[in-house]
Amino acid sequence: MPHAYPFLTPEQKKELSDIAHKIVATGKGILAADESTGSVAKRFQSINAENTEENRRLYRQLLFTADERIKPCIGGVILFHETMYQKTDDGKVFTQYLKERDMVVGIKVDKGVVPLAGTNGETTTQGLDGLYERCAQYKKDGADFAKWRCVLKITPSTPSRLAIVENANVLARYASICQMHGIVPIIEPEILPDGDHDLKRCQYVTEKVLAAVYKALSDHHVYLEGTLLKPNMVTAGHSCSHKYTNQEIAMSTVTALRRTVPPAVPGITFLSGGQSEEEASVNLNAMNQCPLHRPWALTFSYGRALQASALKAWCGKKENGKACQEEFIKRALANNLACQGKYAASGASAAGGDSLFVANHAY
């Protein structure tokens, strides 16, 4: 405990820090296109498209080849393993194609959730076995960041202390291994929005979870300046009867983060969870208008919130390619504005957001 045994050289630290900053540069966020084969099946099913490897390639290609309007919006793209090795129609590997467009390539490295025996349906996440070697290979193959998702849920008896501690620990182990290979770990401790709990309950749980995560990162000697956080926004549960405004969500979220995420972390890239595309943008915008000091970038790492309309427009049909890309570009531009606090939801003015913050509400 009292001695440091440094394992990252100054050059390695600089590389990690530079990558992280590049991903969350002003106006930029992450396209989470790392849906596993099983998750893609669900998406494709809803648009009656067949879940074949070729269709997956074609769909991702549409997103990656959207025109230069997305360049100021997308700092990084998270890929699933299969996608790392697929190519464009011209035969260029996707990773190379994305790099040439100045987007940092990321890779999902976890292997899904597994149950924690003796708990009320809680889980941890597996994938540490051989992660060291896998990371070395991914770095060679073009990845500069990685993602690992842990899941917690709110019920009267959860999250339990075990679930919090175990998930925090596994996230820290993953982060530590990534950094040894020049890969920036995105740390994702998602607290599901399922349930009827109110905003305050979610804020409280989020604070406890994040405090445990950052203590674990410290214990595992993770270099914070070379990491990113991908948390849930603080929202009420899906079945909570009380509806909260975007400003209340923003205030709760920023307060929770200010109480737990050290300023050394360069950026926080929110997951969209079950939010609609518009909600995800409006909430992100409200965060960036919050009158409290925010020492990290607050941006997006959206999957569904960037792709929902694009998928619908595509429907698996080649002739819909342009329409699909237009929808994606539209959301990318919206979130580019939102992460700078400049997004005007349709019908509202961008400047109007500030005054909607309730100054007295104690969080």
Partner 1 sequence: MTHQFPSLSPEQKKELSDIAQRMVAPGKGILAADESTGTMGKRFEKIKVENNEENRRSFRELLFSTDPSISNCVGGIILFHETLYQKSDSGKLFPQVIKDKGIVVGIKVDKGTAGLNGTDGETTTQGLDGLSERCAQYKKDGCDFAKWRCVLKISDSCPTSLAIAENANVLARYASICQQNGLVPIVEPEVLPDGNHDLLRCQYVTEKVLAAVYKALSDHHVYLEGTLLKPNMVTAGQSCAKKFTPQEVAMATVTALRRTVPASVPGICFLSGGQSEEDASLNLSAINQVPLNRPWKLTFSYGRALQASTLAAWQGKAANKAAAQEALCCRAKINGLAAKGEYKASGSADQASKQSLFTASYVY
The 50-79 contact track toward partner 1, x by CB under 8 A, reads ------------------------------
211 sits near partner 1 (criterion: CB under 8 A): yes
How far, in Å, are 16, 116, 211, 344 from residue 122 at the CA level?
32, 6, 19, 39
264 sits near partner 1 (criterion: CB under 8 A): yes
287 sits near partner 1 (criterion: CB under 8 A): no
Residue 97 CA to residue 83 CA, distance in Å, equals 12
| The binder of partner 1 chosen from 19, 79, 261, 311 (CB under 8 A) | 261
Applying CB under 8 A, the span of 18-26, 215-223, 301-309, 326-334 interacting with partner 1 comes to 215-223
What minimum distance in Å lies between the beta carbon of 349 and partner 1? 29
The size of the interface with partner 1 (CB under 8 A), counted in residues, is 44
Strands 123-125 and 113-115: antiparallel
| The binder of partner 1 chosen from 123, 158, 289, 325 (CB under 8 A) | 158
Contacts of 266 (CB under 8 A, 6+ apart): 17, 20, 21, 24, 225, 227, 228, 296, 297
21 sits near partner 1 (criterion: CB under 8 A): no
Q: Which is nearer to partner 1, 196 or 225 (CB)?
A: 225
Contacts of 48 (CB under 8 A, 6+ apart): 315, 316
DSSP state, residue 229: E
- Using omega within 30 degrees of 0 as the cis cutoff, is the peptide bond preceding 262 cis? no
Residue 338 CA to residue 332 CA, distance in Å, equals 10
What minimum distance in Å lies between the beta carbon of 296 and partner 1? 8
| The binder of partner 1 chosen from 215, 312, 330, 342 (CB under 8 A) | 215
> CA Rg, the chain, in Å?
20
Residue 194 CA to residue 236 CA, distance in Å, equals 9
Footprint of partner 1 on 177-196 (CB under 8 A): none
208 sits near partner 1 (criterion: CB under 8 A): yes
Q: Which residues form the interface with partner 1 (CB under 8 A)? A: 1-4, 10, 13-14, 154-161, 164, 200-201, 204-205, 207-208, 211-212, 214-215, 218-219, 224-225, 255, 257-264, 293-295, 360, 362
